[in-house]
Structure 1
């Protein structure tokens, strides 16, 4: 037996995946009645959970729109009417973003934070008219709120940007958006996390650092070595190295209690609104040093340039993340972009770098949760982070690239064993001044974390097979269309010889009809939300139209190809010790109308 399978928790994921396949033909033959009860229970729980997720997704989407509307109202309240049209327009002056670096930005990627330099001027001009007799009390209060909203941040924000063979123009665009933030020069730090295995990484990092000279409080470039013993190659190990070295350098000049680390992807478009809402949340928190702050993810940068199946997959992925953030107890998993204090990162020993930490975002929450005896919680920041869909040349090539990305995502199934293993350990009193929460002592939060991790990884590996194949296959085996295929005679059919099981069989078939309905509701909410974000936050002229509803025709194929199949393979591969190469997804970036550049590389172990 392999050493990595000595723990019972390691067997959960591969066992569940193999059983979900084996039970399809064997269940109706060997134990049809028990199998029927199993299907009823699974479908009922699945339907209930999906309705619950739909409600949480709706609430998250509504809070996002409310946050964006509040931001726009504050902008409008302090902007002269002559400037309002410019603030709402799509084609902004790119010179306001990065000065001489605007050749690395494209207008169709323009986000709302481009407008803030104009807003600053309008604040001064508006506040100078406060004494006007025509100014109402409500107007004065609103202006005071706006001026307070623009006070200097309390925290220093260090953005960790791990990358490997990314297009340089894409990195400049991502960093340029951060440079456009109002307090970037005084409160923002860039930690550009390079990989030493990338040819010419030092020169590339130096060019980017020089391009943004003077636009941030500090710009740190790190190079992650490729030969550190015990490490698994990927985003997590790069982030861990960059965080340790970056924090060590920052601690020499900045109070560590004031530093907030934000881990982001190289294609993440982070608006200033995210930083403002994050500051507001931290300032209101009783204990900001046990919080992970997580925004929703949103795919709108190149969504019309990829196949519909890829577009639909990322839509459902985005909706699942937003639903997950709706957990009222703060037990939710960040995805792609998230923030936490340097104090918390140091307390838990930064990011793990082994093979079990390949799902770095979810794993970091789990590590913080268990290392703090359940004190760490996730707080949603209702500002969507705009990401890029996987994109390559050619339709089939693009489908394959998204499949490769899905396989990498579902390798995070390693967190199932990590969670179960840590949940079974006895809680130890915290060495700090913080005490263990009562809810954690009685094990409820532990159980909730385990259920959420199992749902995140075991539902994909089981639902695809059971939802699509269980009822049709059982129908064929026990109720064949021709007597020639009958394995049992109607007089001995275990379903037909019992009124209870005959009725249960009809209920199960009816349940399968209703299983997709929560998904339809989720997609309806998403369609409205997508248009709202494009229009109100990103200021995009082009958004989704009614014709894009035909995208969902590809949903069954996308669900099986990008969810069921890769999740099943990821679970089965847990049976072997060999570690696979880490494939970096290919994403294009158009540099001012020039030919698109992209990359797809492998971090070979």
Structure 2
């Protein structure tokens, strides 16, 4: 298992915690090959990576760092170009080994905490899939996410924005593997090295700013729509955006940081155009046989090319269709992510403006009836969404907290991380107020950033990539960790 942890100007405490959690897994020393993907633009990148390697070098099968150069022509600074550089190092290290098709690549954010169960379930699914398909494991593995670490210490609007983000991911989670299912990854996912080679690796341009969704779409269309997406029932623990500042200025800074993160997320609406282009090219792929659609075959060894071509042939089975139910599901997911938040905001705004006008006679009665009906539908939708979160999400949050507490106790890390468990209680005033501000939080951190991104795309597709602000451990805890490693 190759694990890529991209980092740019991240606090060393964040990375220490992530590696300590990974090192607590029972198969870490035998199976985990960790790549710290650092940036040359980060003046402390090499020093941080070297320090972490000294601390954890005996905890994993291998631990190294890659240094993504600055200023490569055609590349845009960001997570995708950094991961692409690290993935090339993974490919160079493993692609000539006899069992290279069994190498799995996990990409995870620097603040993500994963349970050992996540990797164990992936290994099981991978072996089963290899037995079914043969030469290629064209599967995209991903966990749901949960913001369960510092949610009680961030402003309410920020907390609810992330909770809605988590709920959106859960909406496409599949308890059972279905061939027509398409789930959207968030922050963490795993693919096989052979699939990464088949699609030509990670894109590095500004259109790939939504790195996780972009890679899913790239793999999906490169395999002619035959990519399997499997949701792994082992949630990834995430931190809410937090600047660490206190008082009024800290409150404002946290909201500003969350808006910047929302704008970066919504800038990924560029992926809708990417998906449309790839969809139109599907018929061309059908006629091109087993040739890779992304043109990186010539850089791979001949025996690797043979395996990939045979694997791609077994996956495609001569059928690459443009009009399928799965393609409709993919574009439905894109509509939910990149159109629906803005559509809802504009409909509400237009309805409010129209309702404030004096209606001219009876010629607009049908429009009035339509607006009244849709307002009732929106109210019903909000009520159902609230019920969903109160009944299902609250239980999900509790289960996630319990599972992580159990594993941290088993690993002897619970006392050090006791403050990193943000519990929620269903029937409290705090929870009730949270749900009532759903529309406000969704508009500020969803609809408005999406509207800004879409309008900005008329002029440019480039956005300055800002790393999300994360909470930092106290120095005394950091020293305890160093002594205990």
Q: TM-score range by the shorter chain?
A: 0.7 to 0.9
Residue 87 of structure 2: which of 228, 239, 243 is its match? 243
Match of 1:163 in 2: 7
- Structure 2 residue runs without a partner (length 5+): 291-308, 407-417, 480-485
Match of 1:376 in 2: 227
CA distance in 2, matches of 1:437, 1:516: 44
Residue 153 of structure 2: which of 297, 305, 328 is its match? 305
- Per-residue deviation at 1:580? 2.5
Contact preservation (8 Å) 1:374, 1:437: no
Task: Give per-residue Cα distances to partners, 1:577-597, cap 9 Å, x unaligned.
Answer: 36231111111121465699x
Residue 534 of structure 1: which of 401, 407, 421 is its match? 401
Task: Give per-residue Cα distances to partners, 1:132-165, cap 9 Å, x unaligned.
Answer: xxxxxxxxxxxxxxxxxxxxxxxxx111000001
Task: Give per-residue Cα distances to partners, 1:334-388, cap 9 Å, x unaligned.
Answer: 1100000000001101100111111010010110111111121211001100011
Contact preservation (8 Å) 1:464, 1:564: yes
CA distance in 2, matches of 1:577, 1:278: 39
Distance 1:424 1:578, change over 3 A: closer
Instruction: Kindly indicate whether residue 173 of structure 2 is the aligned counterpart of residue 325 of structure 1.
Output: yes
Match of 2:198 in 1: 347
Task: Give per-residue Cα distances to partners, 1:74-110, cap 9 Å, x unaligned.
Answer: xxxxxxxxxxxxxxxxxxxxxxxxxxxxxxxxxxxxx
Residue 439 of structure 2: which of 531, 549, 556 is its match? 556
More displaced, 239-248 or 551-560?
Answer: 551-560
Secondary structure of 2:435's partner? helix
Match of 1:446 in 2: 327
CA distance in 1, matches of 2:275, 2:422: 43
- Residue correspondence of structure 1 range 351-500 to structure 2 within 5 A: 351-392=202-243, 393=245, 394-425=250-281, 426-429=283-286, 430-431=289-290, 432=309, 433-436=313-316, 440-441=320-321, 443-444=323-324, 445-466=326-347, 468-479=348-359, 488=360, 490=361, 493-496=362-365
CA distance in 1, matches of 2:234, 2:66: 29
- Per-residue deviation at 1:518? 2.5
Distance 1:504 1:446, change over 3 A: closer
More displaced, 535-544 or 321-330?
Answer: 535-544
Instruction: Tell me the TM-score normalised to structure 2 length.
Output: 0.83
Secondary structure of 1:441's partner? coil
Secondary structure of 2:66's partner? strand
Distance 1:414 1:504, change over 3 A: closer
Contact preservation (8 Å) 1:194, 1:205: yes
- Residue correspondence of structure 1 range 18-97 to structure 2 within 5 A: none
Match of 2:429 in 1: 547
More displaced, 546-555 or 335-344?
Answer: 546-555
- Structure 1 residue runs without a partner (length 5+): 1-156, 480-487, 597-605
Match of 1:107 in 2: none
- Per-residue deviation at 1:554? 2.8
Secondary structure of 2:64's partner? strand
Match of 2:138 in 1: 290
Match of 1:520 in 2: 386
Contact preservation (8 Å) 2:149, 2:422: no
RMSD: 2.2
Task: Give per-residue Cα distances to partners, 1:169-205, cap 9 Å, x unaligned.
Answer: 1101101111111121111100000000100322221
Distance 1:249 1:439, change over 3 A: closer
Match of 1:577 in 2: 460
Instruction: Kindly indicate whether residue 40 of structure 2 is the aligned counterpart of residue 196 of structure 1.
Output: yes
Match of 1:229 in 2: 73
Residue 588 of structure 1: which of 453, 462, 471 is its match? 471
Task: Give per-residue Cα distances to partners, 1:447-484, cap 9 Å, x unaligned.
Answer: 33223223320112211221x323222211244xxxxx
- Per-residue deviation at 1:437? 5.9
CA distance in 2, matches of 1:191, 1:542: 29
Residue 262 of structure 1: which of 99, 106, 117 is its match? 106
Secondary structure of 1:538's partner? helix
More displaced, 209-218 or 406-415?
Answer: 209-218
CA distance in 2, matches of 1:542, 1:510: 35
Distance 1:509 1:209, change over 3 A: closer
CA distance in 2, matches of 1:202, 1:437: 46
CA distance in 2, matches of 1:269, 1:441: 39
Residue 567 of structure 1: which of 440, 447, 450 is its match? 450
CA distance in 2, matches of 1:319, 1:557: 16
Bigger Cα Rg: 1
Instruction: Tell me the TM-score normalised to structure 1 length.
Output: 0.67
CA distance in 2, matches of 1:477, 1:438: 59
More displaced, 367-376 or 321-330?
Answer: 321-330
Distance 1:279 1:435, change over 3 A: closer
Match of 2:410 in 1: none
Contact preservation (8 Å) 1:440, 1:446: no
Contact preservation (8 Å) 1:160, 1:242: yes
Contact preservation (8 Å) 1:375, 1:437: no
